[in-house]
Amino acid sequence: MKQDNDLRNNLKSIRTRLGMSQQDLANLAGVTRQTISGVESGQYAPSVAITLRLAKALGCQVEDLFWLERDLPEIEAVLAKPVPAGQQTRVSLARVGGQWVAYPLIGKDAFRQDMIPADGETRIDKDKVRVRLLDDNLDTLHNTVVIAGCAPVISLWARATERWHPQLRVQFNFANSMSALQSLCRGEAHIAGTHLYDSKTGEYNTPFVRDVLAGREAVLITLGVWEEGLLVKSGNPMGIKTVSDLVERGATIVNREIGAGSRLLLEQTLQNEQIPFHAVQGFDHIVTSHQDVAQAVALGVVDAGISTASVATAFGLGFIPLHQSRYDLVILKEYLEEAPVQQLLSTLGHPMVHSQLEILGGYDISKIGEVVATV
Share of the chain above pLDDT 90, in %: 40
- Fold of domain 72-142: Beta-clip (2.40.340)
Model pLDDT, residue 118: 87
| 7-69 classified as CATH 1.10.260.40 | yes
pTM: 0.68
> Do 7-69 and 144-375 agree at the fold level?
no
Other CB atoms within 10 Å distance of the CB of residue 68: 10
Model pLDDT, residue 72: 62
Confidence label for 1 from pLDDT (cuts 50, 70 and 90)? very low
pLDDT of 230 over the 50 cut: yes
Are the CB atoms for 246 and 253 separated by under 8 Å? yes
Confidence label for 252 from pLDDT (cuts 50, 70 and 90)? very high
Share of the chain above pLDDT 70, in %: 92
Partnered with residue 132 across adjacent β-strands are 74, 121
CATH number of 144-375: 3.40.190.290
pLDDT of 142 over the 80 cut: yes
pLDDT digits (tens, 9 = 90+) for 193-211: 998 888 888 888 999 999 9
Lowest-confidence region among 97-101, 143-147, 327-331: 97-101
| HSE of 354, CA atoms in CB hemisphere, 13 A | 9
pLDDT digits (tens, 9 = 90+) for 11-57: 887 888 788 899 999 999 999 999 998 888 888 888 889 989 998 99
Whole-number Å distance between alpha carbons of 79 and 188: 9
Indicate the domain borders of the chain.
7-69, 72-142, 144-375
Show Cβ contacts of residue 84 under 8 Å, excluding neighbours closer than 6 positions. Answer: none
Model pLDDT, residue 111: 53
Model pLDDT, residue 88: 72
Are the CB atoms for 182 and 194 separated by under 8 Å? no
Burial 327-363 (b: 16+ CB within 10 A, else e): bbbbbbeebeebebbebbbebbebeebbebbeebebb
Whole-number Å distance between alpha carbons of 23 and 225: 65
Closest by alpha carbon to 186, among 335, 342, 78?
Answer: 78
